[in-house]
Amino acid sequence: MLNILFIGDISGKVGRKAVAKILPGLKKKIKPDLVIANAENIAHGTGISENTLKEMMDAGVDWFTAGDHAFVREKYRDTYNDNNFPIIRPANFSKDAPGQGHIVIKVGKEKILLINLIGRVFMKMDYDCPFKKFDEIIDGLDKKNLSAIIVDIHAEATAEKVALGHYVNERASAVLGTHTHIMTADHKITEEGMAYITDAGMVGFADGCIGVDKENIIKTFLTQIKHKHILPEKGKAIFNAVLLTINPKTRKATDIKPIIKFVAIK
């Protein structure tokens, strides 16, 4: 059986420190074959940097997915083309965007297809259709040699994530939502053997608003004037992840376990 740990959106320094504190011990305990994390907020809450990716690689993350903030830091856009960094971006970005949207990862004798998609509902950019992009990727690969197919759907709307889960059921091993930073309570294994959760949550500051200090968020709601987002660098952190168990012979999931941990960051 394959054990795959998927970590929700890592948000800023507090999130990175929480991963560094929790992940090594967690790996010793559960012994995952592969660790994946969403990194679109890894660099001070928005985008990536090479140093922050290296920091999380040193902590034990094997591969990274991204989202709508993937390219906000212009300096690091070409990082998605650098083979030294195991990161993909949403496949339904423009074909002219740097990087790739899916990867076949070799784990021992097994081959795991990781697909990153982004939703369109309530999103600012006019992304390609994630449903059709999944079809395009799957139809272009020899699925006989694959041991698992993992999808990160980075989307705002719950309905869009749920609909995609239904659409790829029987074809994907797992559909894992990201982006909203709040872990949902709907984790399940479908009758067809696909693991699903609408959102895997986040790793970040626990006592704010989705990882951001609450004071300016409240001011924005009260005044209808946008106030600067501030990410605390210490305090109580939450660690959200899901542990998947997948039968490599059938590509079907047999279990999905949410992981919720808290740690103090000083």
Question: Among 211, 225, 154, 243, which Cα is nearest to 18's?
Answer: 211
DSSP-assigned letters across all residues of 20-38? HHHHHHHHHHH--SEEEEE
Longest dimension (CA), the chain: 57
How wide is the angle at C-alpha 108 spanned by C-alphas 104 and 109, nearest 5°?
80
Is 229 tagged catalytic?
A: no
> What φ, ψ does residue 146 adopt, rounded to 5°?
-85, 140
Distance CA 152, CA 161 (A): 10
Question: Cα–Cα distance between 139 and 149 in angstroms, integer?
Answer: 13
Helix (H, G, I), strand (E, B) or coil at 14: helix
Q: Which of 44, 69, 154, 187 is catalytic?
A: 69
Would you call 176 exposed, middle or buried from its count of C-beta atoms within 10 A (0-12, 13-18, 19+)?
Answer: buried
Q: Which two tokens stand for residue 214?
A: 């609450």
- CA 75 – CA 72 distance, rounded (Å): 9
Residues recognised as catalytic? 69
